[in-house]
Amino acid sequence: MVVKWWCKKHLIATIMRYNDSNNLILIVNVYAPQQEYIKKVVWSQLTRIARNWPGPLCFLGDFNAVCSPEERLREIIDFNSIDSFNNFISNAGLIDQLLVNDEFTWEGPLGKFSKIDRVFINAHWANLWPNAILQSGQPDKSDHKPIIWGEKLCY
Protein backbone atom coordinates (compact mmCIF):
# COMPACT_ATOMS: atom_id res chain seq x y z
CA MET A 1 0.00 0.00 0.00
CA VAL A 2 1.35 3.43 -0.93
CA VAL A 3 1.85 5.66 2.09
CA LYS A 4 3.42 8.67 0.42
CA TRP A 5 5.05 9.62 -2.87
CA TRP A 6 6.81 12.62 -4.32
CA CYS A 7 8.41 13.71 -7.56
CA LYS A 8 11.50 15.71 -8.28
CA LYS A 9 13.18 16.26 -11.56
CA HIS A 10 14.87 12.94 -12.44
CA LEU A 11 13.15 10.83 -9.76
CA ILE A 12 9.85 9.54 -8.39
CA ALA A 13 9.94 8.26 -4.80
CA THR A 14 7.32 6.01 -3.21
CA ILE A 15 7.07 4.96 0.42
CA MET A 16 5.09 1.75 0.75
CA ARG A 17 3.81 -0.40 3.59
CA TYR A 18 4.43 -4.07 2.86
CA ASN A 19 2.98 -7.34 4.20
CA ASP A 20 0.09 -5.53 5.92
CA SER A 21 2.49 -4.43 8.63
CA ASN A 22 3.87 -1.14 9.83
CA ASN A 23 7.14 -1.83 8.01
CA LEU A 24 7.91 0.72 5.32
CA ILE A 25 10.07 0.47 2.22
CA LEU A 26 11.27 3.23 -0.08
CA ILE A 27 11.44 2.75 -3.85
CA VAL A 28 12.93 5.51 -5.99
CA ASN A 29 12.60 5.36 -9.76
CA VAL A 30 15.47 7.29 -11.37
CA TYR A 31 15.89 8.78 -14.81
CA ALA A 32 19.31 10.38 -14.69
CA PRO A 33 20.27 13.09 -17.15
CA GLN A 34 23.03 12.66 -19.69
CA GLN A 35 24.92 15.80 -18.64
CA GLU A 36 27.60 14.91 -16.10
CA TYR A 37 27.28 18.05 -13.97
CA ILE A 38 23.52 17.47 -13.52
CA LYS A 39 24.11 13.77 -12.77
CA LYS A 40 26.31 14.82 -9.85
CA VAL A 41 23.40 16.83 -8.44
CA VAL A 42 21.14 13.77 -8.76
CA TRP A 43 23.81 11.54 -7.13
CA SER A 44 23.96 14.01 -4.23
CA GLN A 45 20.17 14.00 -3.80
CA LEU A 46 20.05 10.21 -3.89
CA THR A 47 22.91 9.92 -1.41
CA ARG A 48 21.04 12.17 1.05
CA ILE A 49 17.90 10.06 0.64
CA ALA A 50 19.83 6.80 1.17
CA ARG A 51 21.65 8.08 4.26
CA ASN A 52 18.45 9.37 5.86
CA TRP A 53 16.15 6.44 5.13
CA PRO A 54 16.20 4.03 8.12
CA GLY A 55 14.73 0.97 6.42
CA PRO A 56 14.77 -1.02 3.19
CA LEU A 57 15.32 1.02 0.06
CA CYS A 58 15.66 0.42 -3.64
CA PHE A 59 16.85 2.82 -6.36
CA LEU A 60 16.07 1.63 -9.85
CA GLY A 61 15.89 2.99 -13.35
CA ASP A 62 17.99 4.52 -16.08
CA PHE A 63 21.11 5.95 -14.45
CA ASN A 64 22.79 6.88 -17.76
CA ALA A 65 26.08 5.80 -16.21
CA VAL A 66 28.23 2.69 -15.96
CA CYS A 67 30.43 1.27 -13.20
CA SER A 68 33.25 0.04 -15.43
CA PRO A 69 34.47 0.30 -19.05
CA GLU A 70 33.29 -3.28 -19.69
CA GLU A 71 29.70 -2.08 -19.28
CA ARG A 72 29.91 -0.09 -22.53
CA LEU A 73 30.51 -1.58 -25.97
CA ARG A 74 31.41 0.56 -28.99
CA GLU A 75 30.92 3.77 -26.99
CA ILE A 76 33.21 6.46 -25.62
CA ILE A 77 34.40 5.69 -22.10
CA ASP A 78 34.34 8.60 -19.64
CA PHE A 79 36.48 7.53 -16.69
CA ASN A 80 35.54 10.62 -14.66
CA SER A 81 31.87 9.69 -15.02
CA ILE A 82 32.65 6.11 -13.94
CA ASP A 83 34.51 7.39 -10.86
CA SER A 84 31.68 9.77 -9.97
CA PHE A 85 29.07 7.01 -10.30
CA ASN A 86 31.08 4.54 -8.22
CA ASN A 87 31.64 7.20 -5.54
CA PHE A 88 27.90 7.79 -5.39
CA ILE A 89 27.21 4.06 -5.00
CA SER A 90 29.78 3.78 -2.22
CA ASN A 91 28.79 6.98 -0.39
CA ALA A 92 25.11 6.01 -0.46
CA GLY A 93 25.88 2.52 0.88
CA LEU A 94 24.23 0.80 -2.06
CA ILE A 95 24.47 -2.75 -3.33
CA ASP A 96 24.36 -3.20 -7.11
CA GLN A 97 21.96 -6.03 -7.95
CA LEU A 98 23.57 -8.05 -10.71
CA LEU A 99 21.72 -9.21 -13.80
CA VAL A 100 21.77 -12.99 -14.02
CA ASN A 101 21.10 -13.30 -17.74
CA ASP A 102 22.61 -10.34 -19.58
CA GLU A 103 25.52 -7.92 -19.71
CA PHE A 104 23.69 -4.93 -21.18
CA THR A 105 20.32 -3.22 -20.74
CA TRP A 106 20.42 -0.69 -23.58
CA GLU A 107 21.09 -1.13 -27.29
CA GLY A 108 21.78 1.86 -29.47
CA PRO A 109 22.55 2.43 -33.12
CA LEU A 110 25.57 0.86 -34.81
CA GLY A 111 25.79 -2.00 -32.32
CA LYS A 112 26.34 0.18 -29.23
CA PHE A 113 25.52 -1.47 -25.90
CA SER A 114 25.53 -0.24 -22.28
CA LYS A 115 24.45 -1.33 -18.85
CA ILE A 116 22.78 1.93 -17.80
CA ASP A 117 19.57 0.51 -16.30
CA ARG A 118 20.17 -0.77 -12.79
CA VAL A 119 18.70 -1.74 -9.45
CA PHE A 120 20.49 -0.69 -6.28
CA ILE A 121 19.40 -1.79 -2.81
CA ASN A 122 20.62 -1.23 0.71
CA ALA A 123 21.47 -3.91 3.30
CA HIS A 124 17.99 -3.72 4.88
CA TRP A 125 16.41 -4.58 1.52
CA ALA A 126 18.91 -7.41 0.94
CA ASN A 127 18.05 -8.87 4.36
CA LEU A 128 14.33 -8.86 3.57
CA TRP A 129 14.74 -10.58 0.21
CA PRO A 130 18.03 -12.51 0.34
CA ASN A 131 17.10 -14.83 -2.55
CA ALA A 132 15.97 -12.13 -4.96
CA ILE A 133 17.46 -12.11 -8.44
CA LEU A 134 17.44 -9.63 -11.28
CA GLN A 135 17.04 -10.45 -14.94
CA SER A 136 16.39 -8.56 -18.12
CA GLY A 137 13.53 -9.21 -20.46
CA GLN A 138 13.20 -8.57 -24.17
CA PRO A 139 12.67 -4.97 -25.28
CA ASP A 140 9.28 -4.21 -26.74
CA LYS A 141 8.96 -0.64 -27.97
CA SER A 142 12.07 0.76 -26.33
CA ASP A 143 15.81 0.53 -26.82
CA HIS A 144 16.00 -0.45 -23.12
CA LYS A 145 15.40 -3.96 -21.83
CA PRO A 146 12.87 -4.31 -19.02
CA ILE A 147 14.31 -5.40 -15.69
CA ILE A 148 12.49 -8.09 -13.74
CA TRP A 149 13.12 -8.48 -10.01
CA GLY A 150 11.92 -11.56 -8.13
CA GLU A 151 12.85 -14.80 -6.45
CA LYS A 152 12.46 -17.03 -9.51
CA LEU A 153 13.77 -16.85 -13.05
CA CYS A 154 11.18 -15.87 -15.64
CA TYR A 155 12.69 -17.56 -18.70
Give per-residue pLDDT as tens, 93-141. Answer: 999 998 888 888 888 888 888 988 999 999 999 998 898 888 888 777 7
Tell me which amino acid residue 143 is.
D
- Look at the pTM and tell me if it is higher than 0.85: yes
pLDDT at position 99: 85
Which residues lie closer than 8 Å to 83 by C-beta, 6 or more apart? Answer: none
pLDDT at position 55: 95
Q: Please say if the pLDDT value at position 154 is more than 60.
A: no
pLDDT at position 10: 96
Mean pLDDT over 84-101 rounds to 94
Domain 2-150: CATH superfamily, name plus number: Endonuclease/exonuclease/phosphatase (3.60.10.10)
Q: Please say if the pLDDT value at position 152 is more than 70.
A: no
pLDDT at position 64: 93
Percent share of the chain, pLDDT over 90: 61
Look at 7-11, 83-87, 90-94, 96-100 and tell me which has the smallest mean pLDDT: 96-100
Confidence of residue 33 (pLDDT cuts 50, 70, 90): very high
